[in-house]
Amino acid sequence: MSSLAATVQNIFDEPGCAKNGSKSEAERKNGCTKQLQPGSAAGGCAFDGAKVALQPFTDVAHLVHGPIACEGNSWDNRGAASSGSNLWRTSFTTDLSETDIVFGGEKRLCKAIKEIIDKCDPPAIFVYQTCIPAMIGDDINAVCKAASQRFAKPVIPINSPGFVGSKNLGNKLAGEALLDYVIGTQEPDYTTPYDINLIGEYNLSGELWQVKPLLDELGIRILSCISGDGKYREVASSHRARAAMLVCSKSMINVARKMEQRYGIPFFEGAFYGIQDSSESLRQLARLLVERGAPADLLGRTESVIAREEACARAAIGPYKPRFEGKKALLITGGVKSWSIVAALQESGLELVGTSVKKSTRNDKERIKELMGRDAYMIEDMTPREMYKMLKDAKADIMLSGGKSQFVALKAAMPWLDINQERCHAYMGYVGMVKLVEEIDKSLSSPMWEQLRRPAPWQALAKAMEQMQPPVAAIACDPALAETARRARKICVCNTVDLGTIEDAIYAHGLRSVAAVREHTDALGGCCRRRIQGILVSDPSAMGQAAE
C-alpha cells in the first residue's frame, strides 16, 4: 500500500489526460499542483471531491471520519437518484470532539463502524478521511483493515483529506480507492457480450434513466455505473465488462485507464448531452462491443435507434428555433462539458457569446473552437463582477451556469438556468435535450423579466422630475408666474423683444413664418431666427393658452 503522497503523485502522472500529455517532462514532474490562491479561492476540497464521486453508490454506508463541519455542513446536498436503497442519503459521521483530537479518533472510528453494521448492515462501508484525523495521525487504512476482518464486511478507506488539493483530485483519489479495494473483488452472477461500465456518471436528477431505455432496447447491459445509482456488488464485479464509457472525463479518467490496463476493458470519452453527442456515444459503445466480440448486427440496430431518436428530438426542437433567433447565451460551467453543451445549444438555434474553459483540456478547447468558429469567446476565468457587467450590458440574453454564480444573473434581472450538479431537471440524452430547450424557452419568454427591469415608480417619477426643469414645473401650475416668465425671456437680444410679445403676435395674427413675425414685432430675425422658428413649430394650442 503506497502512501497518500505517492498516490497523489501517481494520479498527477496521468497518461490518459490530454493536458498532462501536452506538458514537458519537467512540468509533468510537478504534477497538477496548481497552488490555490488564499483569499480568492472557490470550490471544494479533496474530501468534497471524493465524497461527491462515491456518494451516489446507493447501498453503501458513507462514514465521514472528522469533526462536524465536514459532514454536518454538507450532507444530503446532491440530487443523485436511486432505484433501490436510500442508505446513501443517511449521513454518518464520527463528529470528533476535542477529547478525540487529543487522544486520537481511531477507537471512536472503530466503534462507529460497528454501530453502523449493527444498525443497517450495509454491503460495505466507505470511510472518508478528513483533514483533522489526518493531522493527528489516525490511520484509517489500518482501522478499516482490522474492521473488515473483524466484521467480515468490506470497509473501504477513502484517503482524501481536504487539504491535499482540489475537488478534482478528490474525485481521482476516490477512483484510486475503488481500484485498490473494490473493483475485481467479486464476480458477477452472469455475463453477456453486451456488458458495459459507465464511469463518472452520477445519475443526477435520475438523468441516466433517460438513456438507459435506449441501451435496454439495444440489449446493452450496464454492468456497473460508477457511481450513479450504483450498488456495491456491481462495482466490485465491474472488471467483467466488455467496454466502458467515460462520461465526465475530468473526474475519473484514472479509473477508466487503469481498468483498461488491468482488465483489458477498452474505453472512450463520451457524453449524452446534446443530440450529436448522444448519437456518437451510442455508436462508439456499439462499435467497442462488436470489436470485443458482440454480434455485428448491434451496429445496424444502433443506427436505426439513433435515426429514430434524432428525428424525434429534432421534430420536438424545431418549433423553438425561430423563437431563439438572435438570442445569445453565456455558458459558465466548470468547463468540463462545455463543448458538449455548446453543440447542444447551437442545435437549438441559440447564439453563444462565450463559454468558460477553466477546467477544459486542450482537446476540449479545440472542439469548442471548431464548434463556435475562430473568434470563439473562451473565458479562462471570469470574476462575478465581469459576468454581471456582461449580462447587465445585455451582451447575453441568458446565462447557463452552476448554482454558485446564479445570483450574478438573477440580480442583474437576467434569465438563468442551472446546468450543474444541483439542478433539478435531467438534461441527458435525446429527451433531456428537448427538456433543456424547453426550459431555456420557458426562462427566456417569461414575462417576469420585463417587469423586473422596469424602473420602480419612484425612480420613474424622479427621472421625469429631473427632465422637467423645476421652474418650468412651477410655472405650469401658476398663470401669473407663467406670464412674468414669458415677459422676462428675451428672444431678440438685439432689439430686446420678449417671448410674450412674439407669442401674442403669432397668436393674434396667425403668423406662420419668421418674416411675418418680423413684420408684426420689433424682432430682427437675424441671430434670433432659430429661436423664432422654434416658437413657430411649438404647439399652437399651448401658445394660445399662454396668450390668454
Partner 1 sequence: MAIVTAPRKACAVNPLKMSQPIGGAFAFMGLRGAMPLLHGSQGCTSFGLTLFVRHFKEAVPLQTTAMSEVATVLGGYENLEQAILNIYNRTKPKIIGICSTGVTETNGDDVDAYLKLIRSKHLQLAKLPLVYVSTPDFKGAFQDGWGKAVARIVEVLVEGPGANGLRDPLKVNVLPGCHLTPGDIDELRVILEDFGLCPSFLPDVAGSLDGHIPDEFTPTTIGGIGVDEIESMGRAGWTIAIGAQMQRAAEVMQVKTGVPFRVFERLCGLCPNDEFMTFLSEISGRPIPLKYRRQRGQLADAMLDAHFHIGGRKVAIGAEPDLLFDLSGMLHDMGAQLTAVVTTTQSEVIERIKTKEVLIGDLEDLEGLAKTHHCDLLITHSHGRQAAARLKLPFYRTGFPMFDRLGAGHQLSVGYRGTRNLIFEIANLVIAHREENDRPTPDKWRTASELPRCSGYRSSTGAAGEAIG
Q: Which stretch binds partner 1 (CB under 8 A): 45-53, 261-269, 352-360, 490-498?
A: 45-53
> Is the preceding peptide bond at 227 cis, omega within 30 degrees of 0?
yes
> Among 45, 199, 444, 514, which residue interacts with partner 1 (rule: CB under 8 A)?
45
429 binds partner 1 (CB under 8 A): no
Q: Which stretch binds partner 1 (CB under 8 A): 195-203, 327-335, 373-381, 408-416?
A: 408-416
Whichever of 424 and 537 has its CB closer to partner 1, that residue is: 424
Binders in 437-496 for partner 1, by CB under 8 A: none
351 binds partner 1 (CB under 8 A): no
Query: Which run of H or of E encompasses 53?
Result: helix 46-54
77 binds partner 1 (CB under 8 A): yes
Task: Give CB contacts under 8 A, 24+ apart, made by 183-187.
Answer: 183/235, 183/236, 183/238, 183/239, 183/255, 183/259, 184/236, 184/239, 184/262, 184/263, 185/154, 185/236, 186/233, 186/236, 186/237, 187/237, 187/240
CA 473 to chain centre: 52
For residues 254-280, one letter each, b for 16 or more C-beta atoms within 10 angstroms of the residue's C-beta and e for the rest, the string is bbbbbbeeeeebbbebbbbbbbbbbbb
Whichever of 100 and 201 has its CB closer to partner 1, that residue is: 100
46 binds partner 1 (CB under 8 A): yes
Tell me the three state secondary structure of residue 511.
coil
Nearest in space to 371 (alpha carbons), one of 391, 351, 390: 351
Binders in 258-317 for partner 1, by CB under 8 A: none
Whichever of 303 and 422 has its CB closer to partner 1, that residue is: 422
Binders in 47-66 for partner 1, by CB under 8 A: 47-48, 63, 66
Binders in 131-150 for partner 1, by CB under 8 A: 131-132, 135-136
Binders in 375-404 for partner 1, by CB under 8 A: 384-385, 388-389, 403-404
Mask of contacts with partner 1, 223-262, x by CB under 8 A?
A: ----------------------------------------
Give least dist CB 96 to partner 1, A: 5
Which runs of E-coded beta strand occur in 94-219?
125-129, 155-158, 195-201
Tell me the three state secondary structure of residue 497.
strand
174 binds partner 1 (CB under 8 A): no
> Among 112, 173, 288, 330, which residue interacts with partner 1 (rule: CB under 8 A)?
112
- One-letter-per-residue 3-state SS of 422-486: CCCCCCCHHHHHHHHHHHHHHHHCCCHHHHHHCCCHHHHHHHHHHHCCHHHHHHHHCHHHHHHHH
432 binds partner 1 (CB under 8 A): no
Give least dist CB 38 to partner 1, A: 4
> Among 54, 82, 108, 148, which residue interacts with partner 1 (rule: CB under 8 A)?
108
